[in-house]
Amino acid sequence: MKGLSILLFLHLFFSSITCFVHRDQFPPDFLFGTSTSSFQIEGAYLEGNKSLSNWDVFSHIPGKIEDGSNADVADNHYHLYMEDIELMHSLGVNSYRFSISWSRILPRGRFGEINSVGIEFYNNLIDALLLKGIQPFVTLSHYDIPQELEDRYGAWLSSQIQEDFGYYAEVCFKAFGDRVKYWSTFNEPNIMVSVGYLSGTFPPARCSKPFGDCLSGDSEIEPYIAAHYVILCHATAVDIYRKRYQVKQGGSIGIVMSTSWYEPLRNIPTDRSAAQRYLAFDIAWFLDPIIYGDYPPEMREILGSRLPTFSSEDRTKLQNKLDFIGINHYSSLYVKDCMFFPCQSNASEGDRFAMSTGERDGIPIGTPTAMTGLYVVPHGMEKIVMYMMERYNNTPMFVTENGYPQQSSPDVPDLLNDRQRVEYLRSYLASLNVAMRQGADVRGYFIWSIIDNFEWLNGYSLRFGLYYVDYDTLKRSPKLSARWYKRFLEGSKISKDLSGGRPHS
Ligand code: NOJ
């Protein structure tokens, strides 16, 4: 009996330690912020001389977006940005990650004029953030690109894109770099090329059977070509920044990857190496070339000549081409080997000779959420950060996205009382802290997202915001999670309190 109570006490003690998280556990200059992207929040899709982006065009095709919506208005952040900055300021964040809409700055890419109205919008946004003590953390490309570049030469499938991307990046460094100290070239290029050219579910909707159902494309080749040019575009932008701006402006530049954690399904060597292979195909695909100058051996072995090659000039250009790694992390999955034991992987996983699943013996890896494949697995945060630390020599890292989806519903009080999100964020932050205590050089953490917004193929049916958005009135209302983040950032000793009363207004 006594032994049992000791065990129970120890269990409670350790679980409270792992769940407990406090602002003081992070360095004073740690960036705490929220994240968004231009297409998902701005709206004003044809205002201020902006041109159509690939996503404007795609989201207007009937049947593409689950709830039949588009982002013509979205959160109308283009007009309401001052209000949104006020929300961030009231939370007490010291940074804000957002992306610039390429179509606002260069509506016709390098084939037209620089749009001064677009420059002015971001100047106003940046100045207003800085006035409130909020550091801008800026992404150049978050899935959207001027449609004209797609129509003219096939965007990421053409080497011409390097000239366009370099030009766009330089316009931004020149216009905003005196005030922006954190730049990311790309958001989740690994997702962008997979869904754009393998499954074809995102624009430009290119793929071949059995990987997807598209009008044209080649799922076995094009994702690798697009990735190749994205990597070279990244290197071009970093070169420009380092040679002409970095010393004068004193900022840093990196890239943001989508990173899930993968656990072996069974504790056997083949599943363990399948999980490693999965990570290489997801992450090292981009980061190995950018840091070490070439594709990971795990991919080369399987893909052979299907993987493009870097010239020796490219390789020299690539080495050490970033100052930080951005980690978007939400969830984890199990991985099963299909190399030695044939198994039923999805078409899109074919090249990996592995399949992922959210369940082991019918038991989910973590509590499922409203988004398919997104489970609550806090320890995945520690694991993925440690993986990055080990594979990339502890390059400085920022967790550029972490967040929790809710299914939209008419029950607004329920959506405002987002206890599951609070629990998710707190447990993931605690896990991040465990990695940092093991030496991981993590310098910031951003919640996706400050406000509910346009969630790509899911439209407005999923809500990630700390603030609820009423899409009829565009009114923003704080959820319990906003209140929790504010208290956490204040260093409140009661950050473990879940009850928290009603969200503040
Ligand atoms: C990843 C993407 O960067 C962002 O655009 C998306 O809304 C969130 N994760 C949630 O799915």
The per-residue pLDDT for range 247-290, each reduced to its tens digit, is 999 999 999 999 999 999 999 999 999 999 999 999 999 999 99
The per-residue pLDDT for range 232-243, each reduced to its tens digit, is 999 999 999 999
Ligand 1 centre to CA of 21 (Å) is 25
Is 188 noted as a catalytic residue in this protein? yes
Contact of 53 with 144, CB cutoff 8 Å: yes
Ligand 1 centre to CA of 247 (Å) is 32
Of 4 and 392, which is predicted with more confidence? 392
Separation CA 421–CA 430 (nearest Å): 14
Residue from 42, 298, 349, 401 carrying the catalytic annotation = 401
- By most ligand atoms within 8 Å of CB, the mutation choice from 39, 144, 186, 188 for ligand 1 is 188
Write the burial class of residue 108 (CB in 10 Å: 0-12 exposed, 13-18 middle, 19+ buried).
middle
The atom of ligand 1 lying closest to the CA of 456 is 7
- By most ligand atoms within 8 Å of CB, the mutation choice from 450, 456, 457 for ligand 1 is 456
This prediction's pTM:
0.94
Residue from 188, 263, 298, 423 carrying the catalytic annotation = 188
Q: Where along the chain do its domains lie?
A: 23-493
Q: Is 188's C-beta closer than 6 angstroms to any atom of ligand 1?
A: yes
Closest CA to 31 of 485, 458, 446: 446
The per-residue pLDDT for range 99-136, each reduced to its tens digit, is 999 999 999 999 999 999 999 999 999 999 999 999 99
Is 401 noted as a catalytic residue in this protein? yes
Q: Is 452's C-beta closer than 6 angstroms to any atom of ligand 1?
A: no
Q: Which class is domain 23-493?
A: alpha beta
Q: Is 328's C-beta closer than 6 angstroms to any atom of ligand 1?
A: yes
Separation CA 503–CA 418 (nearest Å): 10
Q: Is 455's C-beta closer than 6 angstroms to any atom of ligand 1?
A: yes
Write the burial class of residue 429 (CB in 10 Å: 0-12 exposed, 13-18 middle, 19+ buried).
buried
Polymer length in residues for the chain: 505
